[in-house]
Amino acid sequence: MAAAPPPKADELQPFPPKEQLPGVAFCITSPPPWPEAILLGFQHFVVMLGTTVIIPSALVPQMGGGNEEKARVVQTILFVAGINTLFQTLFGTRLPVVMGGSYVFVGPTISIVLAGRYSNEADPHEVAKCVEVGLPELLLLVVFSQYLPQVLDFGKSVFSRFSVLFTVAIVWLYAYILTIGGAYKNSPPKTQVHCRVDRSGLISGAPWLWNNCCRISVPYPFQWGAPTFDAGEAFAMMMTSFIALVESTGAFIGASRYASATMIPPSIISRGVGWQGIGLLLDSFFGTANGTSVSVENIGLLALTRIGSRRVVQISAGFMIFFSVLGKFGALFASIPLPVFAGMYCLFFAYVGGVGLSLLQFCNLNSFRTKFIMGFAFFMGLSVPQYFNEYTAVASYGPVHTGARWFNDMINVPFTSKPFVAGLVAYILDNTLQVKESAVRKDRGNHWWEKFRSFKKDARSQEFYSLPFNLNKFFPSV
């Protein structure tokens, strides 16, 4: 076959790969003005409330708790999430990531609570039981964030950066009108729980007044009593924690892209994973009934606002701690109907998935090897977890079903995680298929990342990820 003629000077060329994402208004080290930063921090707080409420709603009833216990667990998760977010942004990766509850821990926790019986609870990701509330949130968020900035010059930055606050306020008021208007008076109980603004039980269960003053309730270690230990359950949770670390690693990479930083050196990822481990330890001390990982939806919010400032996320951590101590106010915001969060997640998860696919620009997408690895890993990442989830839903236990419940969880939990399965398949194939051929090395795109293998090889790494207070001399990065 004849070779293609060389391109002409004015001929269109493919877009070149970029190590840093352009178009970000404020990167990690360039915070916006304080008033704007405070509003943006509050917006991150609102976004992370969805997961914070969904997880206790699935776990606390299974543990025999009522509305008061659910409110206390929400307070505890908020309090510990605020502390872990500050630790991660100050001493961990120093990326603008929110550390919150993780869905990965829900299945094993319910398995432990029910002593071997799997729950009939719906997957916490399925919160869109109320389409008349969730769909308006999704449509309004797309309009406010994508279309209004194009047609309204005076509000271009306002609508694009604060679209979540605008749309949540509008749909929350709309849901309140539906509630007081009696729209759900004769609806099934599950519909009322998801759609009404007054059925979560968090406001009634949270502490309110004490001696005519706002009551302050600070979560404290071992507030639920002395801890217990079971070796099998510990191994199951260790495996679950490993899955959470794998998923958080991908979220760290996504946050670095949307904050217009460079690729994270391995030593910085290790530092972040270490502080996530400390976060898991704090979860167990305070009794959150869950584990910590990077909040994926807040990564999507970085993309929506195009603001990757570290200070903004640290301010959001302040809101978490403040509203966890003043329980009634935190419960008020947590009463936002869950379908509102479901509508937002449709947009945020799209951004997170998009940033993962964007890293393929550094590979040779015209290579059959690349296409096979990419397609096969993507397909297996969807199909294998779907099989495990459907099997569990029908049989009430996973495909691996032995007499040792802890062993079942160690095997079943990893294969219900889509990122873990897809990443594992891609990792194995990429490191075993034709790796000795010289052309393959370039196809894999490894040469783009070689200068980030060491922390000190690129000056930008030290700018973004260096520890504050001259702590690098005590904790040197490799």
Mean pLDDT (the chain) is: 86
Sign of CA dihedral 472, 470, 459, 37: positive
Q: How many residues does the structure list for the chain?
A: 478
Q: What pLDDT does residue 218 have?
A: 86
Any idea where the domains of the chain sit in the sequence? 34-246+256-353, 363-456
Per-residue pLDDT tens for 219-277? 889 988 888 888 888 888 999 999 999 999 999 999 999 999 999 999 999 999 999 99
- Please answer whether residues 337 and 83 qualify as being in contact, where contact means their C-beta atoms are separated by less than 8 angstroms: no
Q: Which of 237, 232, 244 is nearest to 417 (CA)?
A: 244
Per-residue pLDDT tens for 349-386? 999 999 999 999 999 999 999 999 999 999 999 999 99
126 pLDDT band (50/70/90 cuts)? low
Per-residue pLDDT tens for 38-62? 999 999 999 999 889 889 888 888 8
pTM of the model: 0.89
- Please answer whether residues 156 and 94 qualify as being in contact, where contact means their C-beta atoms are separated by less than 8 angstroms: no
| DSSP state letters, 296-353 | HHHHHHHHHHTB--HHHHHHHHHHHHHHHHSHHHHHHHHTS-HHHHHHHHHHHHHHHH
Work out the percent of the chain whose per-residue pLDDT is above 90.
Answer: 48
Query: Is the predicted pLDDT of residue 212 greater than 50, yes or no?
Result: no
Q: What is the CA radius of gyration of the chain?
A: 23
Query: Is the predicted pLDDT of residue 128 greater than 70, yes or no?
Result: no
- Please answer whether residues 231 and 352 qualify as being in contact, where contact means their C-beta atoms are separated by less than 8 angstroms: no
- Max Cα–Cα distance, the chain, nearest Å: 88
- Please answer whether residues 202 and 71 qualify as being in contact, where contact means their C-beta atoms are separated by less than 8 angstroms: yes
